[in-house]
């Protein structure tokens, strides 16, 4: 039984608890991301405090989902009239960390599916010496 416990301990100690990168600044806003063993998290700096990012403040009308995949951070937002209704609009926020470029795109639902309304790219900067 002790051998199994030693193997499990060794295995768990070899897995990093989380992977985080230096914060980035995009259009005057700073973001910090972490992809952990139990899910992803994102923070935004407001004043001098870090707060959750990509978490809906109004879940009745906006649902948001955070995804971190390799060097991409995605925040997907769906806009609803009510919590039970189908979304009428969506927006994607995607940061490519390897090149520090933020892509933001907005869509509206139509009879023909999602129609892109506007899209833009922003160059971001890595911020040194920041702590969440």
For each of the chain's 132 residues, which pLDDT tens digit applies? 455 444 433 333 333 434 556 899 999 999 998 877 777 788 999 999 999 999 888 888 999 999 888 889 999 999 999 878 889 999 999 999 899 999 999 999 999 999 999 999 999 999 875 454
Read off φ and ψ for residue 8, nearest 5 degrees: -65, -45
């Amino acid at each position: 039984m002790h051998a199994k416990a030693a193997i499990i301990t060794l295995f768990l100690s070899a897995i990093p608890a989380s992977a985080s990168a230096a914060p980035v600044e995009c259009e005057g806003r700073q973001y910090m991301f972490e992809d952990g063993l139990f899910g992803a998290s994102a923070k935004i700096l407001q004043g001098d405090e870090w707060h959750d990012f990509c978490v809906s403040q109004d879940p009745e009308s906006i649902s948001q989902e955070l995804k971190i995949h390799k060097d991409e951070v995605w925040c997907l937002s769906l806009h609803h009239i009510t919590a039970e209704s189908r979304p009428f609009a969506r927006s994607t926020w995607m940061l490519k960390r390897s090149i520090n470029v933020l892509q933001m795109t907005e869509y509206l639902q139509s009879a023909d599916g999602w129609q892109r309304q506007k899209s833009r790219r922003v160059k971001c900067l890595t911020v040194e010496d920041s702590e969440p």
